A and B are shown apart, each in its own frame.
Chain A
Amino acid sequence: MDRVHKSFKVRALDPRSAIINERLKNAKRIFVVLGGKGGVGKSLIATMFSLMLAKRGHSVGLLDLDFHGLSCHIILGAKGMMPTEKKGIIPPEVHGIKLMSVAYYIGDEPLPLRGTEISDAFVELLAITRWGRIDYLIVDAPPGMGEEVLDIIRLMKRSEFLIVTTPSSLALKTVSRLTRLLLEAKVPILGVVENMRITETKLVEEYAKKSDIEYLGSVLFDYNLEECLGNPKKLLETKFARNIKNVARKIL
């Protein structure tokens, strides 16, 4: 039988999305740390989780996707290191964590990106980063429901979401919208963490109950945390770390 030869335009098909799941297939679990507002402690929680898991002997990857607020490298005190180029890029190990961040490349330069550019940078980074076999990939997402969060939902199929908020009605209002987005997207929500608690309050706990998501506990405001930034050993000895350990017990 004769074959029909056919040519079709693929409308400038972007090949990168096709490889993302392949790049992530050897990560046993993917946790995405996100929140409605900035400054609620997402990066510190994502990094602390990574440090704890690495200390327990797990292989851990940490991906900083907050392009406008890159922080994980500062928290870990990563200096003078670069990813290795080998059929893609391999993130360097920082205190036992494979840390991937564009901060390696841009240093302290500002990175003014618009929406589609953020999405492109996200896809590029995921398409070329080779994590190898890891037990956990922790993703530090930027605040809100912008490009990065939508792309995580779209492209990182096995993600489990950990919501961070402060016990403030302002933060909770945005978390409420974010939670609805995640529920509508039918992605697994690990629960909500109440961070930087100063006074006794049931605000977050009641919100979690009302929204039918798990309340993972509270993390007290730690006045000594700032001086431990950049020093993972000291960070692991903080009150903050002890509180996070209780949260971790509920999801691991």
Chain B
Amino acid sequence: MHEWALAEAVISAILTVAKEKGAKEITETKIKIGNLQQIEADILTTAFRELVKNTPLEKTEIKLEVEEAYLKCKVCGIEWNFKDAMSTLRGEESEAIHFVPELAHAFIRCPRCGSPDFEVTRGRGIWIEYIKVSK
């Protein structure tokens, strides 16, 4: 599953930052997942649980939060929720966006003017909101 690759990337990033900050222990972290990528939170949680074994993150509390994705047309300025576009996507198109969110530009058009020139204003990808450590 693709979620495993992302979980691996998150763990690698947290460990790098914790090392830079000279942390003895990483107590808590919050990961935000943008809805555009349609990441399965359950699979991601399973991946984290497996991948943190025998790492300094083994006892870290990992919090996940999903953020709604919004798209904004660069031509007419309308903003819309990605959820509205999801029903128009075919399975393989949805899967493509799951792997590389920018591929949305190949399949989604502005609901008002039909332009493919839009930006993702919120809810793209996966990112680390904060890391709590003890020194």
Contact = CB atoms under 8 A, between A and B. Distances in A.
Contacts of B129: 9-10, 12
Given A5-B134, A6-B132, A127-B5, A13 B13 contact: yes
B5 A87 contact: yes
Nearest to A22: B12
Contacts of A87: 1-2, 4-5, 8
B96 A4 contact: no
B24 interface: yes
B99 A105 contact: yes
Given A6-B134, A8-B130, A128 B6 contact: yes
Interface string B117-129: 1011000111111
A18 B16 contact: yes
A117 B102 contact: yes
A8 B100 CA distance: 29
Contacts of A102: 96, 100, 103
Interface size class of A (residues with CB under 8 A): 35 or more
Contacts of B27: 5
Interface in B1-29: 1-2, 4-6, 8-10, 12-14, 16-17, 21, 24-25, 27-28
B132 to A, nearest CB: 4
A57 interface: no
A223 B79 CA distance: 50
B62 interface: no
A12 B128 contact: yes
**Interface SS of A by simple majority:** mixed
A190 B73 CA distance: 43
Nearest to A119: B102
28 contacts: A4-B135, A6-B132, A6-B134, A7-B132, A7-B133, A8-B21, A8-B133, A13-B17, A15-B10, A15-B13, A18-B9, A18-B13, A22-B8, A85-B1, A86-B1, A87-B1, A88-B5, A88-B8, A113-B102, A120-B125, A121-B101, A124-B99, A124-B102, A124-B125, A125-B100, A127-B6, A127-B9, A128-B6
Interface of B: 1-2, 4-6, 8-10, 12-14, 16-17, 21, 24-25, 27-28, 32, 92, 95-96, 99-103, 105-107, 116-117, 119-120, 124-135
